[in-house]
Structure 1
Amino acid sequence: MPDHLFLLDLLILLALALGSALIFTRLKLSPIIGYLISGIIAGPYGFYLIKNIHEVEVIAEFGVILLLFTIGLEFSISRLLRLKKLLLAGGLSQILLCGALFTGIGTLFGFSMTTSLTLAMALALSSTAIVLKLLSERGEIDTSHGRMSLGILLAQDLAVVFFLVALPLLAGQDLTFSIKEIGKVALLMVGLLIFSRFLLQPFLLAILKTRSQELFRLTILALILVTAWLTSAVGLSLELGAFLAGLALAESPYAHQALSDILPFRDTFLAIFFVSIGMLVNLDLVLANWTIVLSATLAVFAIKFFAAALATALCRFPLRIILLTGFLLFQAGEFSFVFMKAATSLQLIDDQVYQITLAVIALTMILTPLIAGQAERWAAALSGLLGKPRTEIHPEIQEQTGNLTGHVIIAGYGLSGRNIGRILRRFHIPHVYVELNGDSVHKGRQKGDFVIYGDATSGDVLHELGIHRAKALVLSINDPAALARAIPTARHHNPDLYILARTRYVAELEHLCALGANEVVPDEFEASLQLGANLMHRFEFSEGHILHVIANLRKEHYTSMVDAEIPTEGLSVLKGGRLQYQAVPDDSPCLDRSLAEMDLRNQTGVTVVGIIRQNQTIYSPSGSFCLEKGDTLMLLGREDEVAQVCELLHGHPL
């Protein structure tokens, strides 16, 4: 009979979760909020529809274990290396700043240091599920604020593991290990390392050879549970074991398949977990203290916004990206619930503080989709009022670009931007890149490309790059909001400018053209044409017939350049120096002098690898080449050597 009652409880719980998730998804809000509300309704402080609360909590624990496993899968070494700067500089500074501020405020209001630290660790975390879902839906994962948010969220996810390990310390538990216990932990870690490095992949390959999908899923579940049990057996947490299991699989070629197989289980058990959290909320207590809840929610918003914004500023992003990141990461997250529940079981906080904190966490999560929807508009307005866009680029840029005319400005130094630059180099057309990713700027300069750090949506940045003298602007960036801002800004500065934009979806084509773009190339359209062409090759149609059909389809939408695989060429001679651009002043004493007469190589050690004159780039000019007004030199050398050339061109020390 008790088993039947529990099945009825489970049926009620799943029905409420399903209904609330459906309603909140239709409202474009996170279903997590619906799960929490379902728990409040069904719990002992609501209508008391669920009787076997303890059994529900046991099942909910599996959700947390599977969540930690999927996070371990995300922490592949290659992914960490790609985001190492944002993860370390941005993520670590955000966590430390939040921790310090929340701890300080907690002690200021009379909480013990233990309670303050516990609350600080819980509230320092943001919602990975909600933020990444919002970024994915809007196609902003690869934008500057998307990468910054992802770096901070990954750092927080990794910090959760250490926070959960640190909780017993705060509770005053005796964690002094004997030599035997330390040996057990070390033996387990070494065993897991050997297994993951040498035995795991052959074992999974043998499972896959059976061609049984069910067997593979059972193997992955067994791996998670065995690792969690082993870590628990040596005195560590179940969650840490699940995380290590995910980490072991992260670099495996089977990681994606494991993730897709585990996600349905994870999401189901997590729904039960969030419902179980909602069941613990005492709604009467929260309503009786609504002023405290509201004040605490505003305080969390302000502190989290400030911490995320400052962390982004430390990574040298412009003001608009700083504000956008702050608006995205102001909330507490799903791990905050996990952490609070663990802290309660260790009696680190009293029930009233626990109830109020749960309400604050839920409120910040509810507000996230609403505020994120207005974030771009607010960030643009605030950056316009508070920002000083001219400080976003180096003051020497004007010196380098002063004589450029008829050039092309390429916004974005990604794959498509680099390919466009290679095409322009083949036709000897001068061009300059503008990029917000500092690492990409550094790598581009090392390769010999003229890459400027700056925001293409800033009118002042575009002005410094000579937008009013440019012939074309190519927008090869993955940020739809930035595209919509950059096009009218560029058009305002140069009504005759040819603007070519790249976007992901055909649906954005008309909107961007209405804003002022001359041509818009949607990725999905070009990809569909390429897929269709390959398919027709399979049906053995002639190459000419296929090209004719594709050309007609493309002509119906736009006339555009088609990216091709272009071999790398050009300036790969940067060992021992870097490529820099220097405009020749109009009153330079070097005008009408030949390169042989100036003998810059012997005088300064700098090599002139090219000269930009009017609309052409002349590579490897001869010694008889004479400088004229309006020329821009492409110089290869060290910083101090290029500085000497600048003085020679100006005719006086600088």
Structure 2
Amino acid sequence: MPHNISLITTIAAALGFGLIFGFIATRMKLPALVGYLAAGIVIGPATPGFVADTALAGQLAEIGVMLMMFGVGLHFSLDDLWDVRRIALPGAILQIAVATAMGMGMAHYWGWSLGGGLVFGLALSVASTVVLLRALEERGILDTLNGRIAVGWLVVEDLVTVLVLVLLPPLAGSLGGTVNPADAGVSLWRTLAVTFGQVAGFIVFMLVVGRKLFPWILWQVARTGSRELFTLCVVAAAVGIAYASTELFGVSFALGAFFAGMVLRESELSHRAAEESLPLRDAFAVLFFVSVGMLFEPAVLVEQPLHVLLVCAIIIFGKSAAAFLLVVALRYPFKTALIVSASLAQIGEFSFILAALGISLGLMPHEGQSLILAGAILSIALNPVVFSITKPLLRWMGSSELARKFERPADPLAELPVTVDQNKLSGQVVLVGYGRVGRRIAEALTARGIDFVVAEQNRDIVDQLRKQGIPAVAGNAGEPGVLIQAHITHATMLVIATPDTFHVRAMIDTARALNPNIQSVVRTHSEAEAELLRQERAGQVFIGEHELAKGMVQHVLDSFEKKHGRSPH
């Protein structure tokens, strides 16, 4: 019997061509995602031969965005989001404003209307969450402070974009576009009130009800012992909550999936949930990049090369420079500023949605969508190159006296207050990192009455610790000045509780140079890294999986002895 197999054809073509071109790109020492984009161009309508279903590919890509954001939420706690609010919130809003102004200025020069320029500038201002996550994961910095700041920044951008998508239709008439009859006569203030009410209602529901309900459901399914049901529950939660959030609260699929992951993180099964959903996340992420390539029209590169170059200049250089200056102005290190600016040097899914809405409302010409797609393709393909440039820039800044002066002029959080009791700065523990592990270590030290000084990159955390009366210094402990301020010369022990192992050797070398008798305790997740640190006599090295196994074994042995009154054989 005849039947429609366009869905199967689209998935098979996207994954098949994605594999072939991804393999070729990897062999050519290029990122695999460049191959995925090329595969999309090949099976897209702009090139001869087989053409996949663009509409279906777009929907499959939307699932990929949901699963990717769900995975981020599983690794991103509410505390992490709250900790970076003081940089992510003002930084993202100001960066969107600056990038939008650049786009509007260029559109005005081209003779576009005010509304067209506004939509065009907004589309150039918001980065792709999927591209950002892939870049951070490949470099192993997703769970670091800089990674959390970048993700928090993108969450704020998503919230702003959701607000823009709701406000554009009622504002279209005043901006020179067409007015939807359903939006005619609707008050702007009423629209704002409804939008903020929906977003606030969604967040409250997820934090109050979702944090209890969804982890409980996941636990009930896990008790059945069925791996298939558990995987199904995880995927259903990601896609179902994302869909419901859009239908009931008007927020985006991506934001709904992100909060779904955050509430499920409260469950003890969150690591298993992340592991079970990883293959699907990777497969649908490929579909996302292929679908972006399918929308591209190569003719725009020939017909309007100068326009394309100007668009890419705003995306890669303009808004990245704005983000860099904003992060530095907020008194964060140059490394943080570089990582955030490199993360934002591309555009993606929300840009396409904004462009489509702008065209449907008669605000932006079709030429704008072609330019946005060209900018997205080129900026996504060049994003790995932008990240690679950050390394030599960091080396230059590390050796530049001018850069050091510009970065942190008279920073009050970079020095211990004079009010700190000097008796607590002799024989103390220097604790590097105040994340989930560092907090527990600090609590244990406080309970035992052991003095300690915290060295932490997150300025907000340092400020909070000082208000609690805990000595703390803001900065990267890989820099000698930070450890000197923590009085490492008089310390008994250096405890490195941060997951950022890149600067561990510099921390230990500096500590030993200033205090040859100091003991060091290091945290790592890698066997190879642990072995290398032991060879370099880094002190006591703890591997997360080993310590978990030791704790479980000790519990088993203690329980056995208690029950049987003897040692197990």
1:303 equivalent in alignment to 2:311:
no
Partner amino acid for 2:20?
A: G
Does the Cα contact within 8 Å between 1:94 and 1:308 map onto a contact in 2? yes
Partner amino acid for 2:343?
A: L
- Deviation for aligned residue 1:382: 1.6
- Deviation for aligned residue 1:41: 0.9
Secondary structure, in 3 states, of the residue corresponding to 1:45? coil
Q: For residues 198 and 470 of structure 1, what CA distance do their matches in structure 2 show? A: 46
Q: For residues 206 and 463 of structure 1, what CA distance do their matches in structure 2 show? A: 47
Does the Cα contact within 8 Å between 1:145 and 1:321 map onto a contact in 2? yes
Does the Cα contact within 8 Å between 1:327 and 1:371 map onto a contact in 2? yes
Report the counterpart of residue 97 of structure 1 in structure 2.
98
Please show how residues 297-336 of structure 1 align to structure 2 within 5 Å.
297-336=312-351
Does the Cα contact within 8 Å between 2:415 and 2:485 map onto a contact in 1? no
Report the counterpart of residue 593 of structure 1 in structure 2.
none
Change (3 A) 1:281 1:488: same
Report the counterpart of residue 172 of structure 1 in structure 2.
178
Q: For residues 339 and 219 of structure 2, what CA distance do their matches in structure 1 show? A: 46
Report the counterpart of residue 115 of structure 1 in structure 2.
116
Partner amino acid for 1:98?
A: A
Report the counterpart of residue 397 of structure 1 in structure 2.
416
- Deviation for aligned residue 1:317: 1.7
Report the counterpart of residue 136 of structure 1 in structure 2.
137
Q: For residues 499 and 453 of structure 2, what CA distance do their matches in structure 1 show? A: 18
- Normalization by structure 2: what TM-score? 0.74
Q: For residues 358 and 115 of structure 1, what CA distance do their matches in structure 2 show? A: 16
Deviations 1:147-197 (A, max 9, x none): 211210111222232233244344432322569xx89x979969x979988
Change (3 A) 1:104 1:220: closer
Change (3 A) 1:320 1:206: closer
Q: For residues 416 and 240 of structure 1, what CA distance do their matches in structure 2 show? A: 33
Report the counterpart of residue 38 of structure 1 in structure 2.
39
Does the Cα contact within 8 Å between 2:508 and 2:538 map onto a contact in 1? yes
Q: For residues 415 and 28 of structure 1, what CA distance do their matches in structure 2 show? A: 37
1:56 equivalent in alignment to 2:54:
yes
Q: For residues 83 and 517 of structure 2, what CA distance do their matches in structure 1 show? A: 39
Q: For residues 464 and 207 of structure 1, what CA distance do their matches in structure 2 show? A: 46
Q: For residues 432 and 220 of structure 1, what CA distance do their matches in structure 2 show? A: 41
Please show how residues 223-622 of structure 1 align to structure 2 within 5 Å.
240=252, 251=263, 271-272=286-287, 274-287=289-302, 289-290=304-305, 292-346=307-361, 348-373=363-388, 375-385=390-400, 386-388=403-405, 391-394=410-413, 397=416, 399=418, 404-418=425-439, 420=441, 430-495=451-516, 497-512=518-533, 517-537=538-558
- Deviation for aligned residue 1:207: 13
- Deviation for aligned residue 1:219: 8.9
Does the Cα contact within 8 Å between 1:63 and 1:272 map onto a contact in 2? yes
Deviations 1:616-644 (A, max 9, x none): xxxxxxxxxxxxxxxxxxxxxxxxxxxxx
Report the counterpart of residue 618 of structure 1 in structure 2.
none
Report the counterpart of residue 651 of structure 1 in structure 2.
none
Does the Cα contact within 8 Å between 1:30 and 1:130 map onto a contact in 2? no
Change (3 A) 1:80 1:143: closer
Please show how residues 634-653 of structure 1 align to structure 2 within 5 Å.
none
Deviations 1:423-447 (A, max 9, x none): 6667876542222223322332343
Partner amino acid for 1:176?
A: A
Q: Which moved more, 1:73-82 or 1:519-528?
A: 73-82
Deviations 1:586-608 (A, max 9, x none): xxxxxxxxxxxxxxxxxxxxxxx
Does the Cα contact within 8 Å between 1:281 and 1:355 map onto a contact in 2? yes
RMSD: 4.9
Secondary structure, in 3 states, of the residue corresponding to 2:521? strand
Does the Cα contact within 8 Å between 1:487 and 1:515 map onto a contact in 2? no
Q: For residues 258 and 477 of structure 2, what CA distance do their matches in structure 1 show? A: 39
Ranked by relative contact order (alpha carbons within 8 Å, sequence separation 6 or more), the top structure is 2
Change (3 A) 1:393 1:206: closer
Secondary structure, in 3 states, of the residue corresponding to 2:4? helix
- Deviation for aligned residue 1:302: 1.7
Change (3 A) 1:525 1:208: closer
Partner amino acid for 1:307?
A: A
Q: For residues 379 and 276 of structure 2, what CA distance do their matches in structure 1 show? A: 31
Change (3 A) 1:66 1:177: farther
Q: For residues 35 and 356 of structure 2, what CA distance do their matches in structure 1 show? A: 19
Partner amino acid for 2:55?
A: E
Report the counterpart of residue 21 of structure 2 in structure 1.
20
Report the counterpart of residue 154 of structure 1 in structure 2.
155
Does the Cα contact within 8 Å between 2:355 and 2:368 map onto a contact in 1? no
Does the Cα contact within 8 Å between 2:414 and 2:473 map onto a contact in 1? no
Give the number of the structure whose alpha-carbon radius of gyration is greater. 1
Does the Cα contact within 8 Å between 2:100 and 2:121 map onto a contact in 1? yes
Deviations 1:171-228 (A, max 9, x none): 432322569xx89x979969x97998889959x9699789693996779867766775
Q: Which moved more, 1:158-167 or 1:17-26?
A: 17-26
Deviations 1:554-596 (A, max 9, x none): xxxxxxxxxxxxxxxxxxxxxxxxxxxxxxxxxxxxxxxxxxx
Count of residues in correspondence between the two structures: 533
Does the Cα contact within 8 Å between 2:83 and 2:460 map onto a contact in 1? no
Change (3 A) 1:3 1:432: closer
Please show how residues 183-198 of structure 1 align to structure 2 within 5 Å.
none
Does the Cα contact within 8 Å between 2:416 and 2:472 map onto a contact in 1? no
Does the Cα contact within 8 Å between 1:28 and 1:369 map onto a contact in 2? no
Q: For residues 225 and 473 of structure 1, what CA distance do their matches in structure 2 show? A: 48
- Normalization by structure 1: what TM-score? 0.66
Partner amino acid for 1:473?
A: L
Deviations 1:450-509 (A, max 9, x none): 222333222223334444444443322221223244333444445554443322323212
Partner amino acid for 2:404?
A: G
Change (3 A) 1:70 1:173: farther
Q: Which runs of 5+ in 2 are unaligned?
A: none
Partner amino acid for 1:501?
A: V
- Deviation for aligned residue 1:368: 2.4
What's the % identity of the aligned pairs?
27
Secondary structure, in 3 states, of the residue corresponding to 2:453? strand
Secondary structure, in 3 states, of the residue corresponding to 1:173? coil
Change (3 A) 1:376 1:477: farther
Change (3 A) 1:82 1:515: same
Q: For residues 285 and 404 of structure 2, what CA distance do their matches in structure 1 show? A: 42
Change (3 A) 1:432 1:30: same
